[in-house]
Amino acid sequence: MPVVFFLSGLVLIDSYKLVRPKAVAFSLIAGLLAALASYFLSGPMMDITGLARGDFSRYIAPLTEESFKAIWICYIVFSDKVGFTVDAAILGFAVGAGFSVLENLYFLSAQDYGTQTWIIRGFGTAIMHGVATTVFTVVLKTLQQEEGRSRILAIAGALVAPILLHSFYNHFLFPPLIMTAILVVGSPLVISVVFEQSERKTRSWLGTGFDTDQELMTLLMSGDFSNSRIGQYLESLKEHFDGTVIADMFCLLRIRIELSIRAKGQMMMREAGFDSKPDEMVKAKFKELEYLEKAIGKTGMMAMNPVQKWSSKELWQMNMLAEQ
């Protein structure tokens, strides 16, 4: 129960309410599946390594368990299903929560432990799983935003910290109740710092991004657009593409800017406590985008990269609107 309440608190204090309940539910299920995979793998791995259960839990289990929990996180991060660090932190904790819930249910059915053991497992081990996966998710999301970084290296680098944290906890260098107390006090502090830093960056990105989109839209709709750098670049493509394709490129750029402005506006509304209803016009614009991308073709889309190279945040915006 403690880890479930902790997760619920994270969802409630998120100012922008960008994490959908469905995404949290899928992350919980992913954590459950990771726990199942770890359970079925642990026996064969212990036989292969020849390690006693205690040594296995200190040196091998952290590697396998954190790796299984990381699979779902890698999918949502690299497919741009999560836009900001705070969203990544919530979904990462949800995966850890799902893992620890199933693990604790297994121990509950296996043996009748005393109250102290359940305090340690509920407030200690379970929270540790959530925090470890949160750390992985936040680090991976941060590394993913750096251009040119290999995904394999990003995943390997992000796994180091949670594996070490998990192994350190399983060593029990301090009495179990002391370790539990450290987690109970330290976890909210770590999470609160992540939330504050992420929301500060989100507000900054919203302000500058909204202004930039508006300026670009104004420029696009004005008669001076052809004199701008973007306009001149698109004009230069006439040597390589038909006029109809160039016109489709202009339309695609305009629709993407409109959707970007709308997504940022929705985020501002959510921060202010309002919620917006799905708009049929948005769905129509996505259908038009799909048509334009096919009409422009892969070569044409590659040629547009210099003027519409979207970051992971912009790609996430598109996913957020498309799912409404």
> 37 and 166 share a domain?
yes
Residue type, 69: K
> 148 and 68 share a domain?
yes
> 129 and 93 share a domain?
yes
Question: pTM for the complete prediction?
Answer: 0.67
d(CA 285, CA 264): 16
Using DSSP's 3-state secondary structure scheme, residue 51 falls into coil
Neighbour-count burial of 192, counting CB atoms closer than 10 A to its CB (0-12 exposed, 13-18 middle, 19+ buried): exposed
Residue 86: which residues within 8 A CB-CB, separation 6 or more? Answer: 14, 16, 18, 194, 195, 198, 199, 202
Is the pLDDT confidence value at 324 over 60? no
Q: Is residue 9 part of a domain?
A: yes
Q: Is residue 111 part of a domain?
A: yes
Q: Is residue 207 part of a domain?
A: no
Give how many domains the chain has, as a whole number.
2
- 106-156 tens-digit pLDDT: 888 877 777 777 788 888 888 899 999 999 998 998 888 776 678 899 999
Last residue of a domain, one of 140, 166, 201: 201
Work out the average pLDDT over 259-275: 70
- 73-85 tens-digit pLDDT: 999 988 878 777 7
Q: State which residues form the domain around 181.
A: 2-201
Q: CA-based Rg of the chain, rounded to a whole angstrom?
A: 24
How far is CA 138 from its chain centroid?
8
> 48 and 171 share a domain?
yes
- 207-242 tens-digit pLDDT: 555 556 666 666 666 666 666 666 666 667 776 788
> 119 and 245 share a domain?
no
Is the pLDDT confidence value at 105 over 90? no
Please report where in the chains the tokens 């129509």 appear, as a residue: 284
The residue among 156, 187, 161, 154 whose CA lies nearest residue 77 is 154
Band (pLDDT 50/70/90 cuts) for residue 36 is very high
Band (pLDDT 50/70/90 cuts) for residue 316 is low
Q: Is the dihedral of CA 154, 155, 159, 160 positive or negative?
A: negative
Last residue of a domain, one of 201, 233, 266: 201
Mean pLDDT (the chain, rounded)? 80
Please report the pLDDT score of residue 12 as a whole number.
79
Is the pLDDT confidence value at 13 over 90? no
Please report the pLDDT score of residue 82 as a whole number.
78
